[in-house]
Amino acid sequence: MENLRILIPKGRIFDNVVRLFDEAGFPVSLADRTYRPVIGASWLDAKIMKPQNVGDLLELGSHDAGFTGIDWIKESGAQVEEILDLGLDRVRIVAAIPAGLGEAELKAKKIVVATEYVNLAEAWLLGNGYHYRILRTYGATEVFPPDDADMIIDNTASGQTLRDNGLKIIDTILESSTRFVAGRAAMADKEKRARIEELAMLFKAVLDARERVMLEMNVTAERFKTLVAGLPAMRSPTVSPLNGSDGYAVKIAVRRREVPELIPKLKKLGAADIVEYDLRKVVL
């Protein structure tokens, strides 16, 4: 079988994807000024590309799978298969205008709209009755108004950069996050599909583990049933008798956000010697 060819995106997505590979058990190393990282698996070949290009390259079949925001898949219209929503690098694609302007004022004239998302922008502008000319940008779109554009259509995480540049959001066009995607040719290949699905399983195990911790505790036999009845376990808890004692050791995996309220509750139910520790992977 030939190696699986993976595209890793440049920019803000890169660090999160590399961390995901590392935690899945495939460390990534990259020499300075190169675009071909080495991944710790003999069957993986990787290349770094801009996220805007990932979908098209997968559709063309020059690579098998990769990572990019769903915003760039929608923008390019690339015909690829989404394997897993990683839920990382969440952004909104928004329309924003100078804070002192109103939408009615802009609809009364032909406006200049600055954006990297030409196709998404055009569909939204047509659907909302604007007369416009699109000015394609290549980064730093927020600096164009008010001198060089009346509106921008851009991505934002918190909206703070837009506010800092005197802009207000008038609509959210799309919500986006990083996706693990694959080319249709690769998914039609039995062996490549199996490898892609194995990666997706490991990535999901890592992401699930990030949301959970393991709690381990001891409880007397007298209070055991009461404690177990109050546990929010993923499945049944793991229970083992304590050596030389009438009590039990109990382990449960719980959501990280539940821990601050759960530990005091467990103490009241009779738990002692409570230990919390992180998980590396959770395969459900």
pLDDT of residue 211: 93
Whether 169 and 41 share a structural domain: no
Residue 76, SS3 per DSSP: helix
pLDDT tens, position by position, 81-132: 999 999 999 999 999 999 988 888 899 999 999 999 999 999 999 999 999 9
Whether 21 and 43 share a structural domain: yes
Whether 116 and 163 share a structural domain: yes
Within the chain, strands assigned E span: 4-9, 28-29, 38-39, 44-49, 65-69, 80-85, 91-98, 110-115, 131-136, 151-156, 167-176, 178-183, 212-220, 238-241, 247-255, 272-278
Number of domains in the chain: 3
Where residue 250 sits, what CATH number does that domain have?
Answer: 3.30.70.120
Residue 63 is assigned to a structural domain of this protein: yes
pLDDT of residue 68: 97
Where residue 10 sits, what CATH number does that domain have?
Answer: 3.40.190.10
Give every residue of the chain whose pLDDT is below 50, as ranges. none
Q: For residues 229 and 224, what is the distance between their CA atoms, to the nearest angstrom?
A: 9
Q: Look up the domain containing 103 and give its range.
A: 91-176
pLDDT of residue 186: 96
pLDDT of residue 33: 75
Q: Which two tokens stand for residue 97?
A: 């205008």
pTM equals 0.87
State the helix-helix crossing angle for 190-210 and 14-24, rounded to 10 degrees.
100
Q: Which two tokens stand for residue 148?
A: 């060089």
Q: For residues 131 and 101, what is the distance between their CA atoms, to the nearest angstrom?
A: 16
